[in-house]
């Protein structure tokens, strides 16, 4: 599966694809971030569980208590709509963007070209969103194990963000060294 996705990303990784995906993403985020407060009005004091902060289960459920029933439903809708689209779109941008850079940084047979698989780490963002949705759906039961799991996914997500930046920067520096020419066999 991973090998096929790595090959697929190299197949679609044209400058035009990367630019269109990135522009589309920026437009989507720019427009929806202006519409979200209208569609899903949140309290200014609503604490986010998406921040790279480690919360104990007691703190997580205290935050969920503070959100109230309306706030929990708003967060559920947000995390099961917008916050699913963004990681999926990021998967495409990171996969195609890293592939575009890496095929200019390394020869086709180089094992380093598999670094485009870094796109798969966006799965942790989805897992974080699904675990938060689970916390809202099973709020009355207060599943501590799910609060711990959500924390783990949040920390992994932010750690993987550093990994993505590292791969993209490495690819960009090495591709620039090769004058952005696709590397021959």
Mean pLDDT for 69-86 is 91
Question: Quick check: 38 pLDDT over 70?
Answer: yes
Segment 134-180, tens digit of pLDDT: 999 999 999 999 999 999 999 999 999 999 999 999 999 999 999 99
Compute the average pLDDT of residues 10-33: 96
Residue 43 has pLDDT above 70, yes or no: no
pLDDT band at 52 (very low <50, low <70, confident <90, very high): confident
Model pLDDT, residue 101: 97
Q: Give the per-residue pLDDT at 115.
A: 96
Q: Where are the domains of the chain?
A: 2-40+55-177
> Which pair of structure tokens corresponds to residue 12?
């679609």
- As a whole number of Å, the CA-based R_g of the chain is 19
pLDDT of residue 44: 67
Write out 112-143 in H/E/C secondary structure.
Answer: HHHHHHHHHHHHHHHHHHHHHHHHHHCHHHCC
Cβ neighbours of residue 86 under 8 Å, at least 6 residues apart?
29, 125
Instruction: Give me the torsion for CA of 175, 180, 181, 182, rounded to 10°.
Output: 50
Q: For residue 176, how many other CB atoms are within 10 A of its CB?
A: 12
User: Which position has the token pair 């197949």?
Assistant: 11
Mean pLDDT of 56-79: 92
DSSP state, residue 169: H
Decide: pTM greater than 0.85. yes
Distance CA 143, CA 72 (A): 15
Distances from the Cα of 81 to the Cαs of 23, 24, 44, 52, 146, in angstroms? 20, 17, 21, 21, 20
Tell me what the mean pLDDT of segment 97-123 comes to.
96
pLDDT above 90 coverage of the chain, percent: 81
């Amino acid at each position: 599966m991973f090998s096929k996705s790595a090959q697929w990303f190299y197949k679609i990784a044209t400058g035009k694809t990367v630019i269109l995906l990135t522009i589309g993403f920026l437009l989507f985020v720019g427009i929806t971030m202006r519409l979200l407060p209208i569609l899903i009005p949140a309290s200014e004091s609503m604490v986010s569980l998406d921040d790279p902060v480690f919360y104990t289960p007691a703190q997580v459920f205290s935050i969920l208590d503070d959100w109230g029933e309306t706030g929990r439903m708003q967060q559920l809708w947000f995390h099961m709509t917008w916050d699913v689209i963004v990681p999926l779109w990021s998967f495409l941008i990171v996969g195609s963007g890293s592939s575009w850079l890496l095929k200019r940084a390394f020869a086709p047979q180089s094992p380093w070209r598999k670094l485009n698989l870094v796109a798969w780490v966006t799965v942790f963002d989805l897992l974080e969103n699904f675990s938060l949705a689970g916390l809202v759906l099973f709020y009355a039961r207060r599943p501590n194990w799910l609060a711990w799991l959500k924390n783990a996914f949040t920390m992994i997500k932010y750690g993987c963000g550093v990994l993505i930046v590292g791969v993209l920067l490495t690819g960009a520096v090495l591709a620039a060294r090769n004058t952005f020419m696709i590397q021959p066999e």
